[in-house]
Amino acid sequence: MKLILPGRLAALIALTVGAAPAAPAAPRACCAPQETSAFSRNSIYQLDARFTDDAGRPFALGALRGRPVVLSLFFASCGYACPLLVTDMQALRERLPAAVRAQARFVLVSFDVARDTPSALARYRAQRQLDGQWILLHGDNEAVRELAALLGVKYQQEADGAFSHSNLLTCLNPEGAVIHQRRGLRGGLDALAAALAAAGP
């Protein structure tokens, strides 16, 4: 079945796939409303969906601008693939040059919108001992599906409540453009680290 995307989302996906980076726009004034034109043409930060972090605070992806980012979609009750993804993200952090490591952020966005509430994500943070460089996000169905479509992540909830899903780690440069992706589990961490180091803090 052919997937038909809303016009705004389809246009943004077209920009993020194979588009040449545009010159960064001038910095926005402090506390001014966030405009998508402030981001480069192939930045996923143009997505205007809003999320909530595990402390219950509103969070826009554009707040990550200026930092290298490693992002994965997951669900907290996953018993196999997602724990491996998080473990690989932790190992990746140790491979980064010190300057890049200090600036990097590691983002987990849940596609279990019913169960992975901010408080459930806070418990997951504690269980996995994830420090302040980790950002755990909850969104509504539309926000998560739009982000997943931009990144090429497919997921589907099964009858037992678990999810079948792509296993994908995505690296973003400080402007929010996708610079490298690893599909599957295990391996490929050196290539991810090299891409983040080349993008700079």
Q: Encode pLDDT of 91-136 as tens digits.
A: 999 999 999 999 999 999 999 999 999 999 999 999 999 999 999 9
Identify which has the larger pLDDT, 52 or 37. Answer: 52
Q: Are 60 and 50 in contact (CB under 8 A)?
A: yes
Q: Per-residue pLDDT averaged across 53-58, rounded?
A: 97
Q: How many CB atoms lie within 10 A of CB 115?
A: 12
Choose among 170, 182, 150, 166: nearest CA to 82.
Answer: 166
pLDDT at 25: 39
In angstroms, the first-to-last Cα distance of the chain is 41
pLDDT at position 17 is 41
pLDDT band of 194, cuts 50, 70, 90:
very high
pLDDT band for 201, please (50, 70, 90 cuts).
low
**What's the pLDDT at 159?**
86
Cα 71–chain centre separation:
3
Of the candidates 75, 105, 100, 70, the residue with the CA atom closest to the CA atom of residue 188: 70
The answer to whether the beta carbons of residues 172 and 178 sit under 8 Å apart is: yes
**Residue 119, number of CB atoms within 10 A of its CB:** 12
Instruction: Tell me the C-alpha distance between 131 and 73, whole Å.
Output: 18
Nearest to 28 by CA among 10, 8, 51, 45: 45
Residue recorded with tokens 């705004």: 8
Please give the pLDDT value at position 121. Answer: 98
Spatial contact of 189 and 90, defined as CB atoms under 8 Å apart: no
Tell me the average pLDDT of the chain: 84
CATH architecture of 43-199: 3-Layer(aba) Sandwich (3.40)
